[in-house]
Each structure stands twice: as structure tokens, then as C-alpha cells.
Structure 1
């Protein structure tokens, strides 16, 4: 069994340096983990490499202490420098097959916006997929058009590796997303931008857990 299948993907929280509201990545993710985040990803689009390494190292220390899988967005060099559990790449980032060779047996996540992209990512060595955006989102200005729940279900029917859905997911729609058969939800603003990060994470964790338990 692959390592990815043993991970609890229910609540995957992604940081964003624009949404921190003066808080550090560590402060936000520590609060998210306290609320039930099961996987965390460090994403900092506007930081220097030196800053990213320092911030990622602090998060690596936190996630080791709490036993939570730690993923770095895009930057394989940063992920390897701090010995993160894995890296997540998008369609415009390093090719999946090359990333697979470079990171060895670390987790490799890939963003997919269609069944074709999802299938190709699996063939090239992805351990899990971030599928979306499911709904419209302002978190990524360059985001693809929303694919909706119907396309998410279709991808789930054809893909066997873990899938986390992302894009515009919040307390109002998280249960519907989970009913599409995914392994979890990935959220950014719904947790990171919340005044009470721990409470926001706790609410989402409860919502997805109820749906998952009913499906068992």
C-alpha cells in the first residue's frame, strides 16, 4: 500500500501569505492543526527563497511535533532543503515525471483541472491529486474556471489514488463536495483568513467527518 493511502486527507489546509492578516504561517497552521487539520501545505508566492526556507523549517518543526504531513507548494528545492514530507506541483510547474525522479519516495501532489490531466498525473507518478477549482475562488487570480461537482464525480470514478478537492470550498458546501467521493477537501481562505482559525478548522473537520462516516 502506498504511503498516500495511509494518510488522513480529510482537511488539507493551505497557507497563503496574502491572507495571513499579520500572523505568521506557523501561527496559522498551529491553530489549524489544533482545530483538526490533517495535512498542511506551505504556499508563499511572494517570499524570497531564503525567507521560504526559514518559514518552511519552522513549519517542519511544528509538523514533526504534531505528526501532521507537511507539503511545500511548487518549490522542490525548499521541500528538499527542510526535508518536507512532499511537494505539490501545478500544471505550469515542473513536469510531474521529473519531479517524481527528483524527490524520490516523498509525497508528490499534482493539481488537475480535468480527467485528462488527472490521468496523466497518475501515469507520471503522482501520489495524490488536488482537483479543482470546484467553485469560483478569489484566492488564486489565475485560477482555471470552476469544474463543478459533476466533473469532480467523473474524475473520482476514473482515478484510484487519493483526491482532495479545492477551490471555493467552505462550511456551506463542504459536505456536498465530500459526497462526490473525494478523500478530503483542501481549503485556503475558509481557514487561513478566518478570525478564529481553530474554530474554522474544527467546523470543517466536523462537516467532512460526518459525511465520510456515513459513507463507510
Structure 2
């Protein structure tokens, strides 16, 4: 008989965090209703990412789901709740074999991608970019909200890419479980107020 795997709760909102963000705001973001954080920083090495993860976990780890992007080994060493893997990262199936208890997300851009991610053992699909985003170089053309509807029903979809509060509401109506955001929190004059607006949008 296989071991029962209990993954952490999947948030409605993932706030992406890098070493350039104001970590002191993280507890306030949790108070505002943000229940997930993804650590993504392409400009630092794995050791620095591990240090960042420990900081974030110390601030919110008992009240929010913390996922490490790209680096399974960092997630395992720090006790993070999960890992999110891009299409050029460690294959999802290998990550699932190595870490049966972690929440695992996979970057997907089509229904076929989502179906394969499920076969490989992912818990959710990071789906996008839904709209235009300048947060990451080399992103493909936006998929649009209709693509969410076309890909729903296989795995929970976390819509990402240029999503503000109205976009988050549209993504939920289209069938997304939730959203992942960067600029709609961190680039706002009041990040905590912006977070509250997003939380209201995905209810």
C-alpha cells in the first residue's frame, strides 16, 4: 500500500518574492489575505536563494505556503512547502520521486502541457503568461483569458503574467484556481492595500 501524501494547501494568491523586495511587509501581506509566496530570483545563486528562503520562512512559514522556484534542493534543505518547476528545470516526475510530500507546480502554456504535468505528478499548473508582463525577459506572447478556460479541469491553474485585480477576477471566472503576481503588489504605492484588492478579486 502506498503512503498517503498530504500536500500543503494551494493558495488563491501567490506573491512572487525576490531579494530586492521588502521582506518586512510579508507578515502584513499575510494579514491582508495573501496565503502563498513563491521565491523567484534569477540574479542570485542557490546559496543566496537558500538564505532568502530561510528569511521568508521565518517570517510567514507557519501562516502561508512557501514555494521555491526552480531549485528542488533549496526547497528540501530549507523545509519549504513546495517547488515550482519551469520547462527547463528538473523534470516534474524526478522531483515527485525525490520529494513525495512537497507541493509541486509546473509551468504550462497549453492543455497538453497541463495534462502532461498531471501525469508527471504535479499538484498545480502555473499557467501563462495570461497578459503582457515585463517582469521576466523572453516571455512568449500572452495567452489571453480564454486559454484558461480551454485548459481548466485537469489540474488547478494558477494564472500568471501581467495580472492586476481586474485580471485576477477575470482569471477566476475563466476557471483559474488562483493567480501569481509580482508588479500588482510590489510595484504599487501601497503593496498591502494592493494585496487586499487582489484577495477580494479572487474570492
| TM-score after normalising by structure 2 | 0.91
Query: Given the alignment, which residue of 96, 105, 110 partners 1:109?
Result: 105
Query: Given the alignment, which residue of 114, 118, 130 partners 2:114?
Result: 118
Which structure features the higher share of helix residues?
Answer: 1
Closer/same/farther in 2, CA of residues 199 and 153 from structure 1, 3 Å limit: same
CA contact (8 A) 1:85 1:106 kept: yes
- C-alpha distance in structure 2 between counterparts of 1:191 and 1:16, whole Å: 13
Aligned pairs for 1:32-43 (under 5 A) are 32-43=29-40
In angstroms, what is the RMSD of aligned CA positions?
Answer: 1.8
Deviations 1:153-194 (A, max 9, x none): 01004x1x3211111100232211110121111111111222
- C-alpha distance in structure 1 between counterparts of 2:27 and 2:71, whole Å: 22
Number of residue pairs the alignment of both structures matches: 200
CA contact (8 A) 2:16 2:180 kept: yes
**1:32: Cα distance to partner?**
2.1
Residue in 2 aligned with 1:74? 70
- C-alpha distance in structure 1 between counterparts of 2:25 and 2:141, whole Å: 28
Query: Given the alignment, which residue of 28, 52, 55 partners 2:52?
Result: 55
1:96 lines up with 2:98 in the alignment: no
Deviations 1:2-46 (A, max 9, x none): 745x7252211111445x3xx3xx224333223211211111111
Of the two structures, which has the highest relative contact order with CA contacts closer than 8 Å and spacing of 6 or more? Answer: 1
| TM-score after normalising by structure 1 | 0.86
**1:48: Cα distance to partner?**
2.3
Gaps of 5+ in 2: none
Residue in 2 aligned with 1:172? 166
Gaps of 5+ in 1: 210-216
CA contact (8 A) 1:32 1:191 kept: no
Query: Given the alignment, which residue of 181, 205, 213 partners 2:199?
Result: 205
